Structure 1
Amino acid sequence: MSAKTGSPGGAPLRQVRRAARIEAEAHIDVVIVGAGACGLTTALMLADAGIDCVLLERDAQPSGSTALSSGFIPAPGTRTQRDHGVTDDSPARFAADIQAKAHGRAAPALVRAYAEAIGPALDALAQRHGMDWVLLDGFLYPGHSRHRMHAMAQKTGAALMAGLQAAVEAAGIPVLTQAVVQTLWFDHDDRALGVAYRRPDGVTATLGCGALVLACNGFGGNPAMVRTWLPEMAEATFGGHVGNDGSAILWGEALGARLRDLGGYQGHGSWVTPQGALMSWAVMMEGGVQINAEGRRFHDETLGYSEAAVRVLAQPGGVAWNVFDTPLLALARSFPDFCDAEAAGALRRCETAQALAACIGCDPATLQATLEGLRSTAAQPDGRRFPRGLDAPYFAVKVTGALFHTQGGLDVGTDMRVLRAVDGAALPNLLAAGGAAGGVSGDAVWGYLSGNGLLSAVAGAYLAAATAAALVRQKDMT
């Protein structure tokens, strides 16, 4: 018996099949579907616990949304944070920040679990696997009350992936690339038996397991699912990985799993166009502004870059200009993604306000009034206050709003086991983490707190590995 599901948006066929047992070429303790930050971290934590696992990755080279991101992970109470003199942060404070951004609509138990797990997870990756974290302590990202954003020294998602891949290789953990998982096998009691995956030569192989972890990300790359669940982003640029085809949700629906927060997502209001890169929102937080084609500001930029995506898309032509000055240019150039965009020709230098108006294509008088308003000590109509105005020369980068990462997915308990739709009970040995699982951003774009995506990936991986290890040991004892 099988339950098949596919996507009219072009996702490969996904199916769930039932049997009392399966004939598999091999059996391993834990199979992990997806080798992004979530899958790689799960594998490293399992290796630390002495549990054998294998990673199945659809691409020739693991990357996923992580490699396209800035690679920043928020965490309280880490050794790195303390070394930088931040001693008054805590999981409780972090959890409060998450819920404040989500207006209290994030899953409370999962918020607490992630806030408590992420610090130990980053410390474990540093101490046991050589991940040398730095703390971004020059500014606060929207919604964070403390400096807690961790990154590799290069400040890129690609560097984060490279560090995790090197650690997995050093630990001797097998990674099968170009292995497209299509079928999940379960017995009639909903216990995962294994998976079937297709290789580049078209041959399908079957792998048995004691526990199965879905770390295969969200559905932002599936146009049909985006139109259904995120209609306001149906025509937006997708800045994530094309492999985010909704596989976990499709399998979950076929299995009868419960879904959660499918309206939640990470947008980004600073997607450089036409070059296609993320520009750091740090520039906005430190005094930069977004100006539309009419020469006006149109929102409080400090509220967050996720909801800014919708604001930017609502402007004439669906674009805006990030405008800043020389001190902020120096800040922007401290981020490699911006340097790449600048090298690709995204940065415009304007010696005067009139030249900036010509660059934007707006009325010079309207723009001049906008720039003069930044020097007022009073709050702007949208509530934002500026510590200073912007001084010539002005710098401008054309941006649009983009969909980067969906935040809804399979509903999971705090042990990361997938929950049934019919009664909310946990499935015996199917786990989901990272983008495959419902996150902690609630069900709307404005609920995304900076770093929530990698928080879910790494904290979820840490918790999933602990649960999978316990399930394997329990099975070995029976």
Structure 2
Amino acid sequence: MPVIRTHAMSFDASVPVLVVGAGATGMTAALAAADAGADVMVLERDASPTGTTSMAQGFICAAATRAQKDKGVSDSAEAMFADIMTKTRGQTDERLARSIARESGPTIDWLMADHDFPFDVELAWRTDFGHSVPRLHGLPSRSGTELLGRLIRAGEGRVSLTTNAHVVDVYADDMDRVLGVGLLRPDGTRETIGCAALVLATCGFGANREMVRRFIPEMGDSPYFGHEGDDGEGIQWGMQLGAATADMTAFQGYGALSIESGVLVNYNLIMEGGIQINLKGERFSNELFDISGQSKQVLAQPSGIAWVVYDDRLRQSNLRWPEYQALTKLGMVKSAPDAAGLAQLIGVPATTLQATLAHAIACANGDAEDPFGRDFGRNPPLSSEGPYFAAKVTGALFHTQGGLVVDDTARVMRADGSPMPNLFAGGGTARSISGPGVWGYLPAAGLCMAVTLGRLAGQAAARQA
């Protein structure tokens, strides 16, 4: 993945705006550049664009959108900015946080008004994990696959998407102006493409174990739930060009990944009243304190294993989620008519599980206080009679949150604070708004950064070109 310095380069082809990566960031950037009148090409290393976007639930947090108003939700960019700063303990880039809070809403409205994306606000998430109002926007299927598919279709006829095109070289002059890229085809053929502006949309470095162990050592051996192509190439190219990086220790974790199937266990099961227990049959944390940091709590349990335990009310309310449907079809959900039967199925002490459930019910009824500080009173109590259900989970690394430093137009910045001449980045390639740790992640911030910075990068790259 070298950066090749040159002043005279003859490319096989050239395009004004070149985007590397066909995930949500890349396709949003390409669509925005095309809307601005630029000719744009997207290079995708895989045979079919999928990536981490297709593995996500497809939610995007955004403020002051038309969709929020339609649901009666009052929000503002200032409120979202305040939530970001509170969640990150004031340790994120204030300028970037303001920009994302300000531009996230217009990005959603643009996709809805100009490209017929049927976003609506998911009220089930309420104000959990840092958002002061509901601001998670989803498409009808609640899947990243639909989001990416719609982005690709919106660009048809105006965006040139080239697959099986793995970028392996970046050509730049001594002033750090990117001249173009070299790519490798599956059959070993090499090609070069010149550009006036380059957008890096190659996601983060979660699949690069060497980088994870270097920057996020506590997750160096944890399961990874993301695309195998998220190997940090774009970040490494930027670093070789002299770009600054920040918050490389930050990441999004998840404490409810089904071990055997690799399918997400919907956190709605817990938000609506379910609990997590370890192999001793005991709860071990406030499951609603930090959705990202819960990954470390689960990994710290014996064998890094926990069970999500819930009742039939919660089962029925979560049947609409694609992930829950998949878990059921794959046989990942255990069920029993009572707590003793469930304990035997999942291999935990029956008396302990019965006591754990009884205490959670007492907390929800106001007859006991949770030692971990969870507010059980916001939901109906778990059933005292069953049936009960359980899904076996572990903690996982989902997405790295550090990356190249960008300004409020998604232009990549040097370590001295000056902008790179014609290099832009977004999504996981760019630094996020999560601060330096796992605790700063706001739900749906990943795809928020992807589409918001993607739109800004596409617009700025079109102006550059």
Could you say which TM-score interval applies, normalised by the shorter chain?
over 0.9
CA distance in 2, matches of 1:339, 1:56: 34
Q: Which residue of 1 aligns with 2:422?
A: 429
Q: Cα distance, 1:253 vs. partner?
A: 2.4
CA distance in 2, matches of 1:22, 1:313: 50
Alignment: residue pair count: 456
CA distance in 2, matches of 1:342, 1:21: 59
Q: Which residue of 2 aligns with 1:283?
A: 269
**Deviation by residue 1:373-399 (Cα, 9 ceiling, x = unmatched):** 112314301111212431111111111
Q: Which residue of 2 aligns with 1:247?
A: 233
Find 2:178's aligned residue among 163, 175, 192: 192
Matches within 5 A, 1:142-161: 142-161=129-148
Q: Which residue of 2 aligns with 1:5?
A: none
Q: Which residue of 2 aligns with 1:476?
A: none
CA distance in 1, matches of 2:371, 2:323: 32
Look up the equivalent residue of 1:27 and give its one-letter code: S
CA distance in 2, matches of 1:223, 1:204: 27
**Deviation by residue 1:319-339 (Cα, 9 ceiling, x = unmatched):** 100011112112221211111
CA distance in 1, matches of 2:318, 2:257: 14
Q: Which residue of 1 aligns with 2:25?
A: 38
When structure 1 is superposed on structure 2, of 380-389 and 432-441 the one drifting more is 380-389
Q: Which runs of at least 4 in structure 1 moved beyond 6 Å after TM superposition?
A: none
* Counterpart check, 1:389 vs 2:407: no
Q: Which residue of 2 aligns with 1:202?
A: 188
CA contact (8 A) 2:289 2:374 kept: no
Find 1:343's aligned residue among 323, 326, 329: 329
Q: Which residue of 1 aligns with 2:155?
A: 168
When structure 1 is superposed on structure 2, of 293-302 and 251-260 the one drifting more is 251-260
SS of the aligned residue for 1:305 comes to: coil
CA distance in 1, matches of 2:151, 2:394: 31
CA contact (8 A) 2:52 2:227 kept: yes
* Counterpart check, 1:181 vs 2:174: no
Find 1:352's aligned residue among 338, 354, 358: 338
Q: Which residue of 1 aligns with 2:392?
A: 398
CA contact (8 A) 2:125 2:136 kept: no
CA contact (8 A) 1:21 1:193 kept: no
Matches within 5 A, 1:75-474: 75-86=62-73, 88-140=74-126, 141-169=128-156, 171-374=157-360, 375-376=362-363, 377=366, 378-387=368-377, 388-391=380-383, 392-421=386-415, 423-472=416-465
CA distance in 2, matches of 1:99, 1:280: 27
CA contact (8 A) 1:46 1:53 kept: yes
Structure 2 unaligned residues grouped into runs of 5+: none
SS of the aligned residue for 1:395 comes to: strand
Q: Which residue of 1 aligns with 2:38?
A: 51
Q: Which residue of 2 aligns with 1:9?
A: none
Q: Cα distance, 1:250 vs. partner?
A: 1.5
CA distance in 2, matches of 1:342, 1:262: 37
TM-score scaled by structure 1? 0.93
Matches within 5 A, 1:4-15: 14-15=1-2
CA contact (8 A) 1:117 1:462 kept: no
Distance change in 2, residues 1:443/1:22 (3 Å): same
Structure 1 unaligned residues grouped into runs of 5+: 1-13, 473-478
Q: Cα distance, 1:413 vs. partner?
A: 1.3
SS of the aligned residue for 2:159 comes to: coil
CA distance in 1, matches of 2:93, 2:356: 40
CA contact (8 A) 1:43 1:173 kept: yes
CA distance in 2, matches of 1:62, 1:93: 35
CA distance in 2, matches of 1:201, 1:96: 51
CA distance in 1, matches of 2:8, 2:138: 44
Give the CA RMSD over aligned residues. 1.2
Q: Cα distance, 1:446 vs. partner?
A: 1.1
**Deviation by residue 1:175-204 (Cα, 9 ceiling, x = unmatched):** 010100011111111111111111122111
